[in-house]
Each structure stands twice: as C-alpha cells, then as structure tokens.
A and B are shown apart, each in its own frame.
Chain A
Amino acid sequence: MNENERQTISVNLKINSVNHALQIEPRVSLLDALREFAGLTGTKKGCNQGACGACTVLVDGTRINSCFALAVQYEGRDITTIEGLAEDGELHALQSAFIEHDGFQCGYCTPGQICSAVGMFKEFQRGLPSAVSETMTGEIEFSDEEIKERMSGNLCRCGAYVGITEAIHEAFDAEVKR
C-alpha cells in the first residue's frame, strides 16, 4: 500500500464516560489516540512495546497495555484512564494510598501502576490465581509475593516498589474476601 492511499477512519472512543469522535489512521495505537488525539496525556508512553506498563489503562474494567492496541479495535468499549479514576473530585483510594506511602519518585510510571493495580485487584477478587499461587483451585492470600507477581508488567525505574506494594495493601486489604 503506498503512502497516498492511507486509510483514515472515524473511530468513536468512550473514554472516562465521554465520547470522542476521532479521525485517525487504523495504525494509531490506543495509547497515541488517548494522548495525541483525545488530549489525555495522563497515560504515559514508556517503551511502546509492552515491556514497561506505563501505558496501562482499563477497558471494561480490565487492564491492558494501550501501546499494544489499535485504537480502532477498542471502539465502543468503556475505556478508563488515570484521569477517570477520581469520583466527584475525590481521589480513588489507591491514588491517596500512593501519596501516603510514597509509591513513586519521578511519577512517570504512576498512572500505569495505579490503573494496573486497580485491574489487578479485580482479577484477584474474581479468584484468578497467579504463577506464585500455591493452589490453582483454592483460596489465595493477598500477600506481597502475590502483589509483586501480579504487578510484574509495571516497571518503576526509580525503584519505588516497596511504597507501591504498601499502597496497594492499604487501598485493598480491607476489601479482600476472607
């Protein structure tokens, strides 16, 4: 296909409950659509190849890497970015916990860390085991080891992992089903 024949298409994305009608090429990633076309720069571009997790967003509540996604594939889905986590001006419990426990230094990976942890906890609540779970069928403890394994798709170059793990405990421990 030559450059003159580029296909531009209309893509309607529902981001943080707001509809955005975008005119984009099919090759535009969900990450670039969010940042460059919808003007939502909270979601960060780190490696752009699925290795760092800075671009993590929630689609219908499920965490994904927006760099590995074509925007057009997510038409009509419910996309939540870091900008959409606060409710009525009140920070999400995990956002507050990140501040409380120094879950960051430079902050670049933070939106991805927070969106990822929100999705991760939903997976835990659904009973999804992890590679470090003792059992594939029984109860799983919401331990540091589980959190680290489940969050391995999010890198923090500043090394704020201890604070991140504490923040996740702080925000979710009370909700863990026993």
Chain B
Amino acid sequence: MKPFVYSRATEAAAAVRQVSNERSAKFIAGGTNLLDLMKSGVELPDRLVDIARLPLAEITALPQGGVRIGAMARNSTAANHPLVRERYPVLTQAFLAGATGQIRNMASVGGNLMQRTRCPYFYDPAMRCNKREPGSGCSAVEGFNRIHAVLGASEQCIAVHPSDMCVALAALDAVVRVQGPEGEREIPFDDFHRLPGDTPQQDTNLRHGELITAVDLPALPFAKRSHYLKVRDRASYEFALVSVAAVLDVSGGRVRDARVALGGVAHKPWRAREAEKILTGARANEETYRKAAEAALSGARAYKHNTFKIELAKRAIVRALSTAGGSGA
C-alpha cells in the first residue's frame, strides 16, 4: 500500500477543512471498502482523515415521525436499532443482506453510501476502466459482464452500485445531510448517486471535502409493510445480481401507495417510478405486480452475459411486492 499521512479528526469542521485543502485527501471511517481499494492500488490518497470517532453515530427519532441515522453509526447498530426495525423493516433487512457480521460491525452508514462498484475491471489496475482512469476505455462492455448494468448505463461504463442499504434508502426517500467548507446542505437520495454518462469517475454528487453527517428517513407509516429481496449467486456474503426494496400500502385489496427500488441493475440504486405509477390504485394481486415489473424494466438493455438479469429482476419485483403486500387485506 502506498504510504499516506494520517490524522484523527475530533470535530467535523476540522475534518472538512483538512480534506478540502488537499486534492488527494480522503475521509476514512470503517475503512472496509477504502482500505481494500488502497491495497489494490485503485485508491491512492496522500492523506487520510479519520472521522470514525466524530460524535455522529446517534440514531434518533425526528419530530414528524421520521428517524435520523448518524453517518458514523455502524451498519449492524443501525440494523438493530428499534426505531429502524419497527418503522423501516426493509432497511434492517437490506443491512443484514449485505456483507458479513464482521464487516457490518465496521462499516459506517456514511461509508456505505460511498461504496464503489465491485466491477472486477475497476478493481484491476491492469484493465481498462473509465471509472478508475477516465478515457482509458471500458473492459466490461466487451468483457465478462454477467454482473453488470441493464438500466441507465452508458458507453463509458456499465458498472453497478453494490450497496444493499442504498436500495432501501432509495425506496424510503431518504435525505443525505452533508457538511462542506461552505456549510451544510441536504441531498435528496435520488440526487446523491449519479448515472455514469460521460463521467463515470464520479459516483456521487458530493463535492470534494463534503462530509456526510447523517441520513434522514422521512415518516412513512406504511413502511412497516415492506420487504427487501436479494438474489445472489451464494446464499450469504455475496453482492446482489438483482435486489428489490418494496414498500406497499395495501387496504381493501387495493394498493394505496407504493415505493419500489432496485439494486444490482444500474450505476445507482434504481427507483422504479414507472412501476409505482402502475401499482398505485390498482388491485393488489400478482397480475398488477407483473405489470409493474414489466414497466420497471421497459427501458432495460442487456449485454452479452447479463440478459438473464432482466427477467430475474421482473420476477424478483413480483415476489418482493407479493411478500410486502401480504394477503392484501
């Protein structure tokens, strides 16, 4: 690993200043993704500012019925918090679907938002990758692209976002709170991660030096009825081929409201708004769910090895909605 200078931050403003002032400085929290990338020579920071001990780990109820999760809360702590388990079961399930017990104990919520793709060509500096080295080309487009995107990709990059947590946060309309050199701002979840376009090197709309301080979950009473379904090659400790976060408000056999987000299919957690439109007001049955699934994948485009993902995603959507909807009472 390339040498770097380390400093431990004791307050957020100082951490923001230290990273802002140096182009190749980075924050480190749990380190579970960053250190891996540094060992591989993909990330080469000159300075690491340790934010793990900043007092940003609290999980609290918000006045209007929502919940605030501090960015330094560990994935396992957030998963097990009563406010999260009771109000947003889909989020607890998403946390628990990701990584391993050890990694969930280390990884922070803020760091999970900053996870980089697990595209093997991104991870290997000997391969062409526009995300790692802009302009070098994409080895995945013509390569072994079984795990790659079917929605929202570009000629430059067909990588997918690896997080489970983020798929649930997309469905729940979370808001990311950040602190930068110019003050604080809030970023709606849909605007946090980016599609690759011509700038796949930028995963998010966070500016250099901006620190994630918390994630706010708005009140969503019907989120009690929600489900996270992850389909993967192994039963545990594997990234999603396809995943679905489904939140459904059903009464009298009809869908009153719905939130659907997909993982493993795009460069960012994919909010399936076309599916939500079809669901809202329709009968809560498998026929409706299938129509919604067709709509969600209507713009999908497969590459050589990942055609299967399109039908897999549709079936996963139907199953996740059926589970979340329960008996439809």
A: residues with CB less than 8 A from B are: 1, 3, 5-7, 9, 25-27, 29, 48-50, 53, 56, 62-65, 68-70, 72-73, 116, 119-120, 123, 126-131, 133, 136-137, 148-153
Contact = CB atoms under 8 A, between A and B. Distances in A.
Contacts of B5: 1, 7, 26
A129 B92 CA distance: 9
Interface of B: 1-6, 8, 28, 30-32, 35-36, 38-39, 46, 48, 50, 52, 76, 79-80, 85-86, 89, 92-93, 96-97, 99-103, 105-106, 230, 235-237
Nearest to B105: A62
Contacts of B31: 68-70, 73
B103 A136 contact: no
Contact of A27 (B1, B52, B76): B1
B92 A63 contact: no
A149 to B, nearest CB: 5
A153 B96 contact: no
Contact of B4 (A26, A69, A116, A123): A26
B85 A120 contact: no
A164 to B, nearest CB: 14
Nearest to A70: B31
Contact of A136 (B92, B235, B237): B92
Given A50-B36, A56-B102, A68-B31, A136 B236 contact: no
A63 B6 contact: no
A63 B105 contact: yes
A123 B76 contact: yes
A127 B80 contact: yes
B106 A69 contact: yes
A143 to B, nearest CB: 15
A31 B31 CA distance: 14
A68 B36 contact: yes
Nearest to B35: A68
Contacts of A48: 39
A1 B3 CA distance: 7
Nearest to B52: A73
B80 A63 contact: no
Contact of A9 (B6, B92, B96): B6
A26 B48 contact: yes
Nearest to B238: A152
Contacts of A148: 236
Nearest to A59: B105
A56 B102 CA distance: 8
Contacts of B86: 137
15 contacts: A7-B6, A27-B38, A50-B100, A50-B103, A62-B105, A65-B32, A65-B103, A65-B106, A68-B31, A68-B106, A69-B31, A73-B28, A119-B105, A131-B96, A152-B101
A56 B105 CA distance: 12
A73 B230 CA distance: 32
A73 B50 contact: yes
A137 B85 contact: yes
B100 A53 contact: yes
B1 to A, nearest CB: 5
B4 A27 contact: yes
Contact of B39 (A49, A72, A116): A49
Given A1-B4, A9-B6, A70 B35 contact: yes
A126 B46 CA distance: 40
A153 B102 contact: yes
